[in-house]
A and B are shown apart, each in its own frame.
Chain A
Amino acid sequence: MNISLEQFDKAFENRLRLQIMSVLVANERYDFNSLKELLQVTDGNLASHLKALEKEEYITIHKSFVGRKPNTQYAASAKGRDAFRKHLEALENLIKQQKQ
């Protein structure tokens, strides 16, 4: 296959990161526990990938408290939405090229 992989976002190489991003793009914001439940992953796994996305500035974090429990909400940043859209376009292009 001679398709350049340059268009693919390195940050989305990991499947879980792409999944996290899809949830955050479809929703205004999502909290940690709900994400964990939806994606059925462990705390540590989810936290490390969220950290990676945060480092890329693809997501923003809003910390607050519900009663005494910390409640962390995540939202996709404009940069993250853009990157996600481009990544999907690259995937679509890949299919188109293979059809030709």
Chain B
Amino acid sequence: MKENEVYAELSSIRSLMERSAKFISLSGLSGIMAGIYALGGAWAGYRLVYDNSGSLQYRSQYVNNPNVLWQLFFIAVVVLLLSIVTCIWLTVRQARKKGENVWNPVSKRLLTNLCIPLVTGGLFIFIAILHQNYGIISSACLIFYGLALISGSHYTFSDIKWLGLCEVALGLLAALLPGYGIVFWVAGFGILHIVYGLVMHFKYKQ
């Protein structure tokens, strides 16, 4: 065997091991879009709360008016659904471009690992709302989402682990400083997503 043949063999083995174990069709663009939706949602939520009351009565207005609460909940669900749909659409498009099947053993594993912390978090937040523990919602969103990203990062770009760690750190800060939930929410879901999306977009030249 010639030397460059051996090199070619080793690098093909390496790429195969990586391709078979990591799902790399995630699109950076979907991160940017999710960030923009989150900023839009936060802006709508902010307007909703602050237009209904003076900024001084913010807390009491928030807790006492179930109408506002449901509207906020609705905005959050719309942002979430829009982000998921965009992410799926862009990922499928990306995979097609590469001639890959989106539904393969790795993407299944990625999805399971993302969903376990995410669904746990969703239920936890729902329970918090039932008990009117509104103060922890924003930090719980960030922490569980961050943990989901960390657990999924084994099956895709490892850069996602850093995004996850930042989300968890922001979530803990949000828990430490109650009342600033929306600030951390905007930073975590809006700004971090856009930064991450831009980094991925240029790093992997999509």
A88: contacting residue among B7, B13, B20, B106, CB under 8 A: B13
Proximity string of chain A (1-18) to chain B, C-beta cutoff 8 Å, 1 when within and 0 when not:
000000000000001001
B20: contacting residue among A18, A30, A92, CB under 8 A: A30
B81 lies within 8 A of chain A by Cβ: no
A91: contacting residue among B6, B18, B21, B106, CB under 8 A: B6
Q: How many positions in chain A have a CB within 8 Å of any CB in the partner chain? A: 20
Query: Contact at A91–B10, with CB atoms within 8 Å?
Result: yes
Query: Contact at A95–B105, with CB atoms within 8 Å?
Result: no
Using a CB-CB cutoff of 8 Å, which residues 131-145 of chain B contact chain A? none
Does more than half of chain A's interface fall in helix, strand or loop, or is it mixed? helix
A30 to B7, CA, bound (A): 26
Query: Contact at B17–A23, with CB atoms within 8 Å?
Result: yes
B1 lies within 8 A of chain A by Cβ: yes
Query: Contact at B10–A22, with CB atoms within 8 Å?
Result: no
Q: Given that A18-B13, A34-B104, A37-B101 are contacting pairs, would A23 and B20 also be in contact in the complex, using a CB cutoff of 8 Å? A: yes
Point out the residues of chain A lying under 8 angstroms from B105, CB to CB.
27, 30-31, 34
Proximity string of chain B (14-58) to chain A, C-beta cutoff 8 Å, 1 when within and 0 when not:
001111110000000000000000000000000000000000000
A66 lies within 8 A of chain B by Cβ: no
Looking at the assembled complex, report how far the CB atom of A24 sits from the nearest CB atom of chain B, in whole angstroms.
9
Query: Contact at B6–A95, with CB atoms within 8 Å?
Result: yes
A98 to B7, CA, bound (A): 12
Q: Given that A18-B13, A22-B13, A94-B1 are contacting pairs, would A38 and B20 also be in contact in the complex, using a CB cutoff of 8 Å? A: yes
Using a CB-CB cutoff of 8 Å, which residues 73-100 of chain A contact chain B? 88, 91-92, 94-95, 98
A27 to B104, CA, bound (A): 13
Using a CB-CB cutoff of 8 Å, which residues 1-58 of chain A contact chain B? 15, 18-19, 22-23, 25-27, 30-31, 34, 37-39
Residue positions of B touching A, CB distance < 8 A: 1, 3, 6-7, 9-10, 12-13, 16-21, 101, 104-106
Q: A91-B10, A94-B3 are in contact. List 8 more A-B contacts (CB 8 A).
A: A18-B9, A19-B16, A26-B21, A30-B20, A38-B20, A88-B10, A92-B10, A95-B6
Please name the 10 residue pairs, one residue from A and one from B, whose CB atoms are nearest each other, closest first: A26-B17, A23-B20, A26-B21, A22-B13, A22-B16, A22-B17, A98-B3, A34-B105, A91-B6, A27-B21
